[in-house]
Structure 1
Amino acid sequence: MKIRHSAALPLALAAVLLAGCSGSEKAGDEAQNEAAAESAASPENGAHADEEGEIDLSADQIRKAGIELVRVIRNGGGALTLPATIEGDPQGMQVVSAAIGGRVVSLTRNLGQSVGRGQTLAIIESREAATLNAEIEAARARLALAESNLRREQRLFKERVSPEQDLIAARTVATEARIALRLAQQQLSAAGGGGGALNRIAIRAPLSGQVVARSVTLGQTVAADAELFRVADLGRVAVTLALSPADAGKVRPGSRIEVVAGDRRSVAQVDFVSPILDETTRLATVIALIDNRAGQWRVGEPVTTSIQLAGGGASALLVPQSAVQTVEGRSTVFVRTEHGFKATPVTLGSPNRDNVVVTSGLKGDELLAGPNSFTLKAELGKGEAEHGH
């Protein structure tokens, strides 16, 4: 069964639908003849030698046909395949709040923008900020006076004019003034630091990353400890799984978890296995981290995870049920090739949620047509009809 298909998939599919819906054999023949003529005129036709059951399609044609690509998932008797959601690394995300209340007079970052550690995110204007800054100025003035008195007492003591006790007292006052200034500066730093005026403080980023949430607007009056931003370092993201106590006992920190979404695949590493069960679900939480420096994963994105449990049996393969079509009475998947897709018969095992086990026919590293793969089945059937199969 050698099939040569045109580069115009939508036109060929339209011919099949027209022939099936009109009920007129003549109309169907005319549509098929038109598709054949278009195929013969295509510059891509004949560019590659067709193999058995292969359909030539470009990446643009695949996109226009609405065909989504999916990966084969490795699984088996000792593995679990579970849905999950990409989350921010718990240790790489921080809430930025206002240490004191006031009115927001400046915002320097918006959602999605990058920020470095210590850079200003917002400026708040308030009377409490004025008090903190005033205390620093007063402490600085007292320290300058105390240091001046200490220098005078040192000179007088050296000239044998003042007794040593006066020198000790002056030294003590200067030390206390330094402590008072340092305390006032730390209080301002805890509130956010200087904001360019006595009645302003700056709200600074606690880590480098991206602004992933902003719950404040310019001119808004905020209370102390109110959340203003969330900053996340998305160089690492996480997936959280809920496992039964028996399965969680077979997982250790450092275990590998495969994360799949469409044609993307990553390996996550287990970072935490909770020793405590959730009070409601009675399941154990497992958190795995993914290296996301390439930026291929987004927080909130749904994924499929596969984790191999210790002591598990032989591995098998899983494919989404949407990728399986019946062709000539056999279960078939369409494997992505350099020039399109290859119809590949497979042997199926038991279903696993939205997936089905494949016991033979695949190696495990293939990229398949998933949702809308039925359009390839229709095209394959049309090609067989044209060649008299």
Structure 2
Amino acid sequence: MKTILTGGVLPFGLALLLAACGSSSEGGNETAGNETSAGAEAGGNEAAHADEGAVTLSADQITAAGVQIGRPLTGGAGTIELPATIEGDPQGTQVVSAAIGGRVVALTRNLGQSVGRGQTIAVIESREAAQLKGEVEASRARLALANSNLSREQRLFAQRVSPEQDLIAARTAAIEARIAYRQAQSQVSAAGGGGGGLNRLGIVAPIGGQVIARPVVLGQTVAADSELYRIANLSRVSLALNLRPEDAGRVKPGNIVTVTAPGRQASARISFVSPALDPQTRQVPVIATLDNGGGQWRVGEPVTAAVQLSGSGGSNAVRVPTTAVQTVEGKSVVFVRTAKGFQSTPVTLGDAAGDTVIIRSGLTGQEQIATTGSFTLKAELGKGEAAHED
């Protein structure tokens, strides 16, 4: 009985042991299965994260889509584009006015014609002109008489015939007559001069240049200080701009302005930034100087001006075409070329620079990017994300 009892217990214990081992083995297999599943899921998430923002395209597909590839530009500064007007250089524009009232009897220059400094360009007939010229003639005669008396008194004083007091009086009279003559000459000179007659005064050009305005006609009676001509030296012209106060703070004298008109382009330089706002426009008047030696720019012509902003770029600034930038999920991105296609790269934009924009961060300038056709890549990216969500 004892032997039989012992033999019965051993199989039962072995069964329990085997059951425990089996349970442990099944638990281990279950744990291992869970770990494998978790690892696969994690790997899938990493792969999905790695593919986020990627657009897979072959070289043939890129060509067919019309996507062009290039490198970012380096250097340059941000600009503001705004309309502007060509004006005469304030330092080279002169209004020619009538110093006396009278009738215009001659106008020797028409609009657009050239004139040299000192040339007679108008003649005014006036009683005042006759009075001025008459005073010159009278003072000249008085001066001649005073000089003659002085010579006679000097001779008589040398012969001890006339006292020194008479000589001093004659000398004083001669000096006064000379002053009166010069004063009369100055009055005529201030009014004009010449003119071809006692009652006529010629008006001369104070500077050389071109006639850009002539508001009077022959035979017209004009008052003193009436404008007869406007002459401009158009070898240099000015560019009139109006900037917002926040933009004007980034524009300084010496900054470059690119001036563009149909078929023409040139560079001007800022010469004046007003310290005060215009009371009408509430903007800041700015003047740039533009070389016009070739005569290609006309006063009053509307143009487009791209004004360089200070402190917005530099020799290391990275710029890309505006066509290379897209907005994805509210962020500005540039599509960078990869081995499999393109990767959308978030960037921080700076100031515009003509048809380019400065990249403050996100690119080094050494990448190859999609310069045109980036909208197509954005559409492909949207398709890929939609398929991934499904």
- Structure 1 length normalisation: TM-score? 0.62
Letter in 1 for 2:301: E
* Residue 182 of structure 1: aligned partner: 182
1: CA distance, partners of 2:263 / 2:233: 25
Structure 1 segment 33-44 matched on structure 2, within 5 A = none
Q: Can you list the C-alpha shifts for 1:106-157, whole angstroms capped at 9, x where unaligned?
A: 1111111110111111101110000000000000000000000011111111
Letter in 1 for 2:274: S
Any conservation in 2 of the 1:78–1:309 contact (CA below 8 Å)? yes
- How far apart are residue 308 of structure 1 and its match? 1.3
Letter in 2 for 1:162: S
1: CA distance, partners of 2:210 / 2:309: 35
2: CA distance, partners of 1:317 / 1:217: 55
SS at match of 2:267: strand
2: CA distance, partners of 1:163 / 1:96: 54
Q: Does 2:250 correspond to 1:250?
A: yes
1: CA distance, partners of 2:321 / 2:179: 67
Q: Does 2:86 correspond to 1:91?
A: no
* Residue 221 of structure 2: aligned partner: 221
Any conservation in 2 of the 1:237–1:291 contact (CA below 8 Å)? yes
* Residue 192 of structure 1: aligned partner: 192
* Alignment gaps of 5+ in structure 1: 1-51, 53-74, 320-349, 363-389
Q: Does 2:302 correspond to 1:294?
A: no
2: CA distance, partners of 1:262 / 1:203: 39
SS at match of 1:296: coil
Closer, same or farther in 2 for the Cα pair 1:144/1:360, shift >3 Å?
A: farther
Q: Can you list the C-alpha shifts for 1:189-226, whole angstroms capped at 9, x where unaligned?
A: 11111211110000111110011111111111111111
* Residue 207 of structure 1: aligned partner: 207
* Residue 162 of structure 1: aligned partner: 162
Any conservation in 2 of the 1:318–1:357 contact (CA below 8 Å)? yes
SS at match of 1:265: strand
Q: Aligned pair count?
A: 258
User: Cα RMSD (Å) of the superposition?
Assistant: 2.7
SS at match of 2:175: helix
Between Structure 1 and Structure 2, which shows a larger proportion of helix residues? 2
- How far apart are residue 164 of structure 1 and its match? 1.2
- How far apart are residue 90 of structure 1 and its match? 1.2
* Residue 122 of structure 2: aligned partner: 122
Any conservation in 2 of the 1:235–1:295 contact (CA below 8 Å)? yes
Q: Can you list the C-alpha shifts for 1:367-388, whole angstroms capped at 9, x where unaligned?
A: xxxxxxxxxxxxxxxxxxxxxx
* Residue 303 of structure 1: aligned partner: 303
* Residue 338 of structure 1: aligned partner: none
1: CA distance, partners of 2:255 / 2:167: 67
* Alignment gaps of 5+ in structure 2: 1-62, 64-74, 324-348, 358-368, 373-390
Any conservation in 2 of the 1:76–1:316 contact (CA below 8 Å)? no
Structure 1 segment 6-155 matched on structure 2, within 5 A = 78-155=78-155
Structure 1 segment 335-346 matched on structure 2, within 5 A = none
Residue identity over aligned pairs, in percent, reads 65
Any conservation in 1 of the 2:77–2:310 contact (CA below 8 Å)? no
1: CA distance, partners of 2:192 / 2:121: 10
- How far apart are residue 280 of structure 1 and its match? 2.5
